[in-house]
Structure 1
Amino acid sequence: MRLTILGVLTALSATLLVPAVGSPATAARPQVVSRSVVFDVENTNATAAVCLPDNRSYRLRGRLVGPRRAIEGRSGAIRVNVLVHDAGTGGWFWRLPGHPGYDYARRLAQHGETSLVLDRLGYGANASDASSCLGAQADMLHQVVQHLRSGRYDFVDRHLGGTPPAARVVTHGHGVGAAIAQVEAATFDDVAGLVLMSWTDRPGTGVARDALGDQTAACLTGVASAPAASAAAFRHQLFAAAPARVQRRAAALRAAVPCGEVTSRAPMVLASGLGAGQVDAPVLLLYGSKDALTRPAARSTQASAYPTKVTTRTFAGAGNALPLERPAQVGATVRRWLR
């Protein structure tokens, strides 16, 4: 009898310890791939952020990062997260080269999400002599969203076949990129959600005002772009907690800011503030408690500007560059919100 009972208990214990098929304990992470893609856009402005772009056609290059099945169009309807970088950074901000632990797009992909990492016109892979501005950046973001939803964009390697259409699009913006995403959502109402990092529609800190003042002074001399901030200033503006090696790498990749963006900052902030009340999609607001560019009072009141469901999270000890400051915590917070 004792042996029989022992056998039953052993079998029962084994049954209880085996997770159900498909549970998080056994579900394998998807194979993540990255593919170069290209979008045809017009540098136009149909937003309330008044500015004058050149109204010319451009091809924007980016990278689609996600599970292989999703990118190959074999997983049915997908959601695409469009990652919009700040002024003076670039698409690298979401996938810091040489530092796989600071790859925001890949972290999302490992949990089934697909993302578009895009240099905005005037930056990185899309650097050019284009005369653009922040209102036009929001307009071009809208065009990219529409192309994603319809599948009307291309792999750079045409042998890969057709690009997958997005059933839903969520925009993630950092700093000025968050303002661009907010104005796009308010103007065109075509995204399913907004993840806004380190942005408020209220005036920033003295550090933020000084940085913009330096850029404005440079642009008044007639140059096409305001020089990038010094490495020390850049690190002070964006970081509080990241390892020194991460800060050094990011500072080495910092970029000049096109003067069209600098001179259109005021109308963009105005349009962003007025447009917040027109945002219908759910909003996730993310901040660092030691952000050198946004005032704590402004962060605490930003949520009241939206008529929709808003979730706010502040990361203790983090600075402005949240995906590079608290990569694991930020990634987990965003994934929970997306679910």
Structure 2
Amino acid sequence: MRQRLLTTVVGLAGLALTSAVLAGPADAADRTGPATTTATTAAAKATTAPARKVAHRRVAFEVSNTNETSALCLADNRPHVLQGRLVGPRSTLSGSPGRLRVNVLVHDAGTGAWFWNLRQVPGVDYATQLARRGETSLVVDRLGYDSSPLANGNATCLGAQATMLHQVVQHLYSGNYRFTDRRGEDDQPPHATHVVLHGHGTGATVAQLEAAEFDDVAGLVLMSAPTVTPTGEALRVVTDQLGRCLGGSYSAYGATPAEFRSLLFASATERVRRLATARRNPTPCGDVSSVLAAVGLATLTSGRVEAPVLVLSGGRDARVRRLGQAGAEKMFGSSARVSARTFAGAGSALPLEAGAAGVRGTVLRFLAGVRPTL
């Protein structure tokens, strides 16, 4: 408990300091950053090309729950298996692709891999809709969520989550993972030539930490990222969640289902809100106790990120104040390319909100300019 309180106090201090130093006024009108003619042409082709047939393949990654980041937190240092799905064009997942970009989709606290692959509502199924435009994505349950269970939620933390994400990235490059729905001796998972991390909420913090600490990804898409600009409501919810962790190892995000919905949504359909609430996951308390320290560290180390960065915000996000183009460029000063956009009327859960198609279009245009790292 002493470690948990120390981590929280350090996180609050670091978050306050970095917010004061790095936060700047948002632009009057958000815009995307400069792009080359080649990238613009490729983006146009990506968003207008005929839809591809999509395949879903179950995969598993062996990882070690170890914290190798600078974040102050403890993990059990034991081996675990993360379960997920590759979602991509059928031709890509059934053959031997050449240059393959894999988008790794990192979910928030309280959600899960389902957030990116809500197949019951095809119009907001982020992974499948990207696959129809030629992209391959990995949707994976972080340790402690759904198909990647962890008995003791205090046995991991966000520094370890970022380290395990790094291990997943390396396994994608090497092909050192497996299909769990294998269809023959020659059925091997593809190697990635470049990986782009997409993170939402706390998942954005995990992705940003991975990119800053390990420098092995080709791009970074941050949705509703809490770095620098969390609202007072967001801090209240985390404090409340930490209190509910006393004596336990898991805690719900949002005190009630209604609060969970209010934190994530502003314009999503009622069906999407019901489906999301039914899939609401408890959060490992080790993640809860380390969130403020992780956000502070991610903010402090944002200048180390060299890969292109896309920052997406919702104009009605209850948890995060928007970070405009000027603020994003200031934060990611070493990045090869920085773009920012705010979606008016949207809440935190951008891929599931009413403007989901616009979010995906912005992401596809950004991806068109991402180049391989290998």
Give the TM-score taking structure 2 as reference length: 0.81
| Aligned position for 1:267 | 293
Instruction: Select between 222-231 and 193-202 the one with higher mean Cα deviation.
Output: 222-231
| Aligned position for 1:223 | 248
Determine which structure has greater relative contact order: mean sequence separation of CA pairs < 8 Å that are 6+ residues apart, divided by chain length: 2
1:296: Cα distance to partner? Answer: 3.9
| Aligned position for 2:349 | 321
**Secondary structure in 2 aligned to 1:61?**
strand
Separation (CA, whole Å) in 2 of partners of 1:118 and 1:290: 27
| Aligned position for 2:169 | 145
1:46-84 Cα deviation digits (max 9, x unpaired): 101121100000111100000112112333120000000
Structure 2 residue runs without a partner (length 5+): 1-44, 369-374
| Aligned position for 2:89 | 67
1:253: Cα distance to partner? Answer: 1.0
* Amino acid in structure 2 at the alignment position of 1:120: R
1:97: Cα distance to partner? Answer: 4.1
* Amino acid in structure 1 at the alignment position of 2:238: L
Q: 211, 234, 238: which one pairs with 1:185?
A: 211
Separation (CA, whole Å) in 2 of partners of 1:247 and 1:26: 30
Separation (CA, whole Å) in 1 of partners of 2:239 and 2:221: 28
| Aligned position for 1:13 | none
Q: 208, 216, 222: which one pairs with 1:196?
A: 222
| Aligned position for 1:235 | 261
Separation (CA, whole Å) in 2 of partners of 1:338 and 1:136: 27
* Amino acid in structure 2 at the alignment position of 1:256: P
Shift in alpha-carbon separation, 1:186–1:101, aligned structure 2, 3 A: same
Shift in alpha-carbon separation, 1:87–1:299, aligned structure 2, 3 A: farther
Q: Does 1:159 align with 2:183?
A: yes
| Aligned position for 2:240 | 214
The residue correspondences of 1:126-137 to structure 2 (distance < 5 A) are 126-130=148-152, 131-137=155-161
Q: 316, 323, 329: which one pairs with 1:290?
A: 316
1:25: Cα distance to partner? Answer: 11
Separation (CA, whole Å) in 1 of partners of 2:341 and 2:324: 14
Counterpart contact for 1:287–1:299, Cα < 8 Å: no
Shift in alpha-carbon separation, 1:223–1:24, aligned structure 2, 3 A: closer
| Aligned position for 2:365 | 336
1:252: Cα distance to partner? Answer: 1.4
Counterpart contact for 1:37–1:64, Cα < 8 Å: yes
1:24: Cα distance to partner? Answer: 8.0
1:106-146 Cα deviation digits (max 9, x unpaired): 11100100000001000011122151100000000000000
Shift in alpha-carbon separation, 1:318–1:300, aligned structure 2, 3 A: farther
The residue correspondences of 1:36-47 to structure 2 (distance < 5 A) are 36-47=58-69
Separation (CA, whole Å) in 1 of partners of 2:297 and 2:46: 43
1:26: Cα distance to partner? Answer: 9.5
Separation (CA, whole Å) in 2 of partners of 1:216 and 1:29: 45
* Amino acid in structure 2 at the alignment position of 1:156: T
1:168: Cα distance to partner? Answer: 0.3
* Amino acid in structure 2 at the alignment position of 1:31: K
Q: Which runs of 4+ in 1 moved over 3 A?
A: 23-28, 296-300
**Secondary structure in 2 aligned to 1:36?**
strand
Separation (CA, whole Å) in 2 of partners of 1:217 and 1:24: 46
- Higher CA-based Rg: 1
Q: Does 1:120 align with 2:142?
A: yes
Instruction: Select between 79-88 and 222-231 the one with higher mean Cα deviation.
Output: 222-231
Separation (CA, whole Å) in 1 of partners of 2:165 and 2:105: 10
Shift in alpha-carbon separation, 1:26–1:170, aligned structure 2, 3 A: closer
1:135-175 Cα deviation digits (max 9, x unpaired): 00000000000000111110002325111000000000000
| Aligned position for 2:282 | 256
Counterpart contact for 2:158–2:294, Cα < 8 Å: yes
Shift in alpha-carbon separation, 1:28–1:201, aligned structure 2, 3 A: closer
Separation (CA, whole Å) in 1 of partners of 2:46 and 2:168: 33
1:99: Cα distance to partner? Answer: 1.1
Separation (CA, whole Å) in 1 of partners of 2:257 and 2:47: 43
Equivalent pairs counted in the alignment come to: 316
| Aligned position for 1:106 | 128
Separation (CA, whole Å) in 2 of partners of 1:58 and 1:122: 10
Counterpart contact for 1:37–1:153, Cα < 8 Å: yes
| Aligned position for 1:312 | 340
* Amino acid in structure 2 at the alignment position of 1:334: V
Aligned Cα root-mean-square deviation (Å): 1.8
Counterpart contact for 2:325–2:341, Cα < 8 Å: no
Separation (CA, whole Å) in 2 of partners of 1:257 and 1:231: 14
**Secondary structure in 1 aligned to 2:258?**
helix
1:300: Cα distance to partner? Answer: 6.5
